């Protein structure tokens, strides 16, 4: 058991039979009374997010997670398949578990898989990925002092807003946390 004052971003815990990962954390101490700990957590099994408020002194069950590095192999209609880098074991991961991160995953990408008692819970993507642009409209010249951008489609189907000089066939680096263009590679 851990005290809720020890919760921080990225900490996982079990409460009422659900596994949660802390996304945001704030500690509020009013003038009187106990401190309140406000958290935004993600249910690791369903993927849903919610706000949870705890009173100072509350306790939650900490859990032990296993992490394995794996590389992406291929995808079908319902699952994405990854191969463990050490045991060469293939793990099918449901598309619903990965969620919006599917647009960043391409063949050969190294990710960190999270398991709890043999059950797959999470896929941690690298901070950025390099993707090839397959479709880009021609940039319209004009008032570019404001940093004009256009929408392009990458090899994974992800749509990214990029500067006008990026063309089809270019490789770009994309931030996996927010889907923003970082640089041309």
Query: 74, 53, 76, 69: which is closest to 7 by C-alpha?
Result: 53
Give the Cα separation of 146 and 148 in Å (integer).
Answer: 6
- The full set of domains in the chain, from first to last, is 2-62 (2.30.30.30), 66-124 (2.40.50.140), 128-184 (2.40.50.140)
pLDDT digits (tens, 9 = 90+) for 145-165: 667 888 999 998 889 999 888
* pTM attached to this predicted model: 0.71
Radius of gyration of the chain (CA): 21
pLDDT digits (tens, 9 = 90+) for 41-99: 988 877 788 899 998 888 998 888 888 899 999 988 888 899 988 888 888 888 877 77
Cross-strand pairs, 63? none
| Contacts with 141 (C-beta within 8 Å, 6 or more apart), sequence order | 164
pLDDT digits (tens, 9 = 90+) for 95-110: 877 777 888 998 889 9
pLDDT band at 143 (very low <50, low <70, confident <90, very high): low
């Amino acid at each position: 058991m851990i005290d809720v004052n020890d919760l921080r971003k990225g900490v996982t815990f079990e409460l009422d039979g659900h596994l949660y990962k802390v996304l945001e954390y704030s500690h509020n101490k009013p003038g009187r009374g106990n401190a309140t700990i406000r958290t935004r957590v993600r249910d690791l099994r369903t993927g849903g997010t919610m706000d949870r408020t705890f009173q100072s002194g509350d306790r939650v069950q900490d859990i032990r997670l296993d992490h394995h590095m794996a590389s992406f192999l291929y995808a079908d209609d319902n699952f994405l398949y990854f191969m463990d880098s050490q045991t060469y074991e293939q793990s099918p991961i449901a598309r619903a578990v990965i969620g919006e991160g599917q647009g960043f995953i391409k063949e050969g990408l190294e990710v960190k898989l999270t398991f709890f008692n043999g059950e797959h819970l999470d896929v941690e993507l690298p901070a950025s990925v390099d993707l090839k642009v397959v479709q880009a409209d021609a940039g319209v010249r004009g008032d570019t002092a404001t940093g004009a951008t256009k929408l392009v489609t990458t090899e994974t189907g992800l749509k990214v807003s990029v500067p006008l000089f990026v063309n089809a066939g270019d490789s770009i680096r994309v931030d996996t946390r927010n889907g923003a263009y970082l640089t041309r590679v």
